[in-house]
Amino acid sequence: MDYPLDLLREIANVSSTFGRGTRNRLWVTEPREARISPPEHAVASSAVSVPMRDGVTLRGTLHQPIGVESAPGVLIANGYALDEPYLAPTIDQLARRGYLVLKANLRGVPPSDGEPGLYEHYGEDAHDLIEWLAGHRGCTGRIGMMGASLLGLAQYLAAKEAPPSLKAILPDDAGGDSYWHLWYPGGMRPGPGRAARQSFGGAQNEYSLAAAHPDYDAFWRARTIQPEDLEAIARRRIAVLLTTGWDSYMLGAAKAYEWLKAGRQGDRLRLIIGPWAHGAFLSPDPPLQGPGVLPYTGFEFAVLWLDRYLKGIRNHVDDLFPVLLYVQGPDRWRAEEDWPLPIEERSVLYLRQTPSDTGGGLNDGSLTVHPPASDQPVRYRYSPEGPYNRAAVTSVSRPRIDKIPYEAHGLAWTTDMLQSSIEVTGYPRFSFWATLSAPDTDFVVEITDVSVDEAGRLQSLQVTRGYLNAMRYFSRSNPQPLVPGQPYRFEIELHPTSYVFRAGHLIRVTLQGSALDPQEPPPQEKPELPGANPEAAMRSHGPGLNPLACEVTVLQDAEHPSFIDLPLIGATLID
């Protein structure tokens, strides 16, 4: 290779963990005192039954602060037969702080009536629950919603129905376009994490219903949130606090921020992205993997938001910067004025035939700012029988493994050694030309950080990933078989990230046909998450396997330039 391993290690050990040109940005390093409603009330709880517009009765528990004549309401609409582990302390803390909290089970979740389905009547039922709570004796009529994952999706679907009493939502790690971002990631088939839904009470019928609708149709339109829906929500001035993690298996919060912003949401919109996967950001004691949020805890952020938009308390939460990000590398929080960052500089790195001398993939290609001339095409073969890749995240994290053994089955392109530390924050985009030997295939692209491990060997660690089904790239609703041998141009928008590649490291892009390794042995150490099934938490949450074998030929010549487009912060060029 071009650089001795000891030189790579030496440079990395002394290089800055901050990206070039970012030291003077608005880094958040210390907690602040959160001036939120104090937990000063005792709480009385009672079982309630609420009739829906179609005659189905939903049941839940109403938690009322004692001694408060008129309180704003908070609805937690639960689609699981078992409560999430953070629900009880969250509900108790909110009620003690002067909120009338209704935790209601959605239809099909006992003791509520109805049949479980895939988000069946979530929007209409949440609308009716909101207006019932708003009209309850002792309620001010101003209602908010909060909750994570499925409970966050219920908030989007409720807001889509425009209940007049809904004033604020706090969806944590919830996908709006649950077709493209969750069930059929990038148009690829559902994976093991979705299949596991069959064992979740209240969600047991989700997988079979989703499998019956592989294309985006009227079934999905009724169950997803599209840009026009979020723009309408923004125009109704519903205050939205969006939270998620870089390693989540959904793009919901990041995309929702952009679409809400298009509706001129103004100060009533905030985005927080942390260093975790599928977590419980809003809990007083969340089972998160990694450091907590600054300058306030997640629960404090939530109460500040509810205090401001339900109680009308001028607590200056709307004066905070609109976006709060955790930058990996410096491992610090940073405030930003918008998302994607307006200061990003796009850097295009072309896929080239020239060897990188790092031994990456089948081709050992390079990444360079110089466009290709007559570079020869390169090929890999995908088969549902293997060999496989392991690119998808779990509920706990992205794969924290050396990807080099998996990369040996696919294509890889690698930069020269970085001369200075580089921050990538935003959406990387992979644009490439390819021919297929079959009428359809899947693409899984990863960006990895190549460096020297403790044993003195090169290692390749995933930073982010993206998925795409070839046919559904051209049409989600009516995909047609592609013509084998014909060149097609594809573009994959990878999951967003904020990550610093240190000087002495190398950036690698890999392309394969799967994100799942069904032969992967179960982990010996299980995560300790209160109330969670550790086996389910470690399942792959990403796409499944395409049933068609296919040889993919990637073109990288002057007429068919293929490249990775990176959003750089501070730096303007990678060479």
Report the CATH number that the domain containing residue 408 is assigned in CATH: 2.60.120.260
- 332, part of any domain: no
User: 416 and 293, same structural domain?
Assistant: no
Q: Is the dihedral of CA 414, 510, 249, 393 positive or negative?
A: negative
User: 400 and 290, same structural domain?
Assistant: no
Is 21 in contact with 570 (CB distance < 8 Å)?
A: yes
User: 397 and 250, same structural domain?
Assistant: no
- Residue range 254-268, pLDDT digits in tens: 999 999 998 877 789
- 273, part of any domain: yes
Q: What is the pLDDT at residue 344?
A: 96
C-alpha dihedral, 321 to 284 to 241 to 27, nearest 10°: 20
Is 465 in contact with 493 (CB distance < 8 Å)?
A: no
User: 512 and 547, same structural domain?
Assistant: yes
User: 439 and 300, same structural domain?
Assistant: no
Q: What is the pLDDT at residue 8?
A: 64
Question: Does residue 494 sit in helix, strand or coil?
Answer: coil
Q: What is the pLDDT at residue 520?
A: 81
- Closest by alpha carbon to 507, among 434, 398, 444, 430? 430
Q: Answer with the one of 320, 353, 369 that is the final residue of a domain.
A: 320
The residues, ordered by sequence, that sit 6+ positions from 98 with a Cβ below 8 Å of its Cβ are 37, 40, 41, 65, 68, 71, 311
How would you class 385 by CB atoms within 10 Å of its CB: exposed for 0-12, middle for 13-18, buried for 19 or more? exposed
- 337, part of any domain: no
User: 369 and 475, same structural domain?
Assistant: yes
Number of structural domains the chain divides into: 2
DSSP 499: E
Query: How long a stretch of residues is the chain?
Result: 575
Structural domain range at position 186: 27-320
- 55, part of any domain: yes
Q: What is the pLDDT at residue 284?
A: 61
Q: What is the pLDDT at residue 289?
A: 42
User: 277 and 152, same structural domain?
Assistant: yes
Is 381 in contact with 551 (CB distance < 8 Å)?
A: yes
Mean pLDDT by 10 residues, the chain (575 residues): 60 78 93 94 97 97 96 95 77 96 95 93 97 96 95 96 97 91 96 87 89 96 94 94 91 89 84 85 56 86 96 92 95 96 96 96 97 96 96 87 96 96 97 98 98 92 98 98 98 97 97 93 58 61 95 97 97 74
Q: What is the pLDDT at residue 1?
A: 47
User: 352 and 298, same structural domain?
Assistant: no
Listing DSSP states for 19-83 in one string gives PTT-TTS-EE-S------------EEEEEEEEE-TTS-EEEEEEEEETT-SSEEEEEEEE-SSS-
Tell the residue number behind the tokens 């009322």, with chain if given.
64
- 13, part of any domain: yes
- 574, part of any domain: no
| Structure tokens, 155 | 């908030």
Which ranges in 115-205 belong to alpha helices (H)?
A: 122-134, 150-160, 178, 192-195
- 221, part of any domain: yes
Q: What is the pLDDT at residue 234?
A: 93
Q: What is the pLDDT at residue 9?
A: 65
Q: What is the pLDDT at residue 319?
A: 86
Q: What is the pLDDT at residue 5?
A: 65
> What count of other Cβ atoms lies within 10 Å of the Cβ of residue 14?
10
Q: What is the pLDDT at residue 81?
A: 79
Q: Answer with the one of 287, 320, 353 that is the final residue of a domain.
A: 320
- 328, part of any domain: no
User: 506 and 392, same structural domain?
Assistant: yes
- Angle, CA of 338, 342 and 348, to the nearest 5°: 135
User: 125 and 237, same structural domain?
Assistant: yes
User: 124 and 59, same structural domain?
Assistant: yes
Q: Answer with the one of 288, 320, 352 that is the final residue of a domain.
A: 320
Q: What is the pLDDT at residue 200?
A: 80
How would you class 106 by CB atoms within 10 Å of its CB: exposed for 0-12, middle for 13-18, buried for 19 or more? buried
Q: How far apart are CA 408 and CA 164, in angstroms?
A: 56
Q: What is the pLDDT at residue 176?
A: 84
Report the CATH number that the domain containing residue 265 is assigned in CATH: 3.40.50.1820
User: 43 and 108, same structural domain?
Assistant: yes
Q: What is the pLDDT at residue 480?
A: 98
SS3 content of the chain, % helix, strand, coil (to 5): 20, 30, 50
